[in-house]
Chain A
Amino acid sequence: DAMVIQNPRYQVTQFGKPVTLSCSQTLNHNVMYWYQQKSSQAPKLLFHYYDKDFNNEADTPDNFQSRRPNTSFCFLDIRSPGLGDAAMYLCATSRNYNEQFFGPGTRLTVL
């Protein structure tokens, strides 16, 4: 089945230690998104790629970076995680800007 895959499902990191979250998709969608969802809140868009074009949200901290080496993969890099960055990170894809399909998420814990 075509799908959006996120690895790992659970990630524990130390305060200030860089961490990378991974997303891959077999849907051949040209748009990939990263959302942050804190406990009991709605998902918040961090940034997205339309093909190779990177689009950052205005209020996304510089601590968050992303890479998309090819159509199938997209990475979220957190350069110096703080306690406030503990959250669920959701990757989503879409064809152009139609309905988005989400991966299972990576739950990040910062110690």
Chain B
Amino acid sequence: AQKITQTQPGMFVQEKEAVTLDCTYDTSDPSYGLFWYKQPSSGEMIFLIYQGSYDQQNATEGRYSLNFQKARKSANLVISASQLGDSAMYFCAMREGVGQGGSEKLVFGKGTKLTVNP
């Protein structure tokens, strides 16, 4: 079974509008971390935001926020005020367990290609 599911292969948004990229996950481990990465066409993976399973509040980093709904096992990325430079692939990833006792492996979803239109 897939551990990370990103159901939107592609998304389009108008510049300056907000967009939500979906991510659902599957784990039986009570301790896990969720990550979002951006990958422009140049290829580098840029870390955007992190949410720990025990974090009480949704993570925010500038224009990025994570809509974490633990009971639904979803961790959607919200990008506010989209910019042309936000056009890229976006990957959701999960690491089970935290600290040295946890898994070393990041499991990635298949990604969502976001296109921001002027």
Q: What band does the interface of chain A fall in when counting residues whose beta carbon is under 8 Å from B?
A: 20 to 34
Among the listed stretches A17-25, A66-74, A103-111, which one makes contact with chain B, having 4 or more residues with CB under 8 Å of it? A103-111
Q: Tell me if A42 and B44 are in contact (CB < 8 A).
A: no
Select from chain A the residue with minimum beta-carbon distance to B110.
Answer: A42
Max count, chain B CB within 10 A of own CB: residue among A43, A45, A90 = A43
Q: B interface vs A, CB < 8 Å?
A: 33, 35, 37, 42-47, 50, 91, 95, 98-100, 102-106, 108-111
Q: Tell me if B110 and A41 are in contact (CB < 8 A).
A: yes
**Contact mask A75-111 → B, CB, 8 Å, 1/0?**
0000000000000101010001101111111010000
Contact of A96 among B37, B42, B100, B108 (CB under 8 A): B100
Q: Which residues of B contact A45 (CB under 8 A)?
A: 105-106
Taking the closest CB of chain A, its distance from the CB of B27, in whole angstroms, is 15
Q: A interface vs B, CB < 8 Å?
A: 31, 41-43, 45, 48, 50, 55, 88, 90, 92, 96-97, 99-105, 107
State in angstroms the CA–CA spacing of A99 and B36 once bound together: 10
Contact of B99 among A92, A96, A105 (CB under 8 A): A96
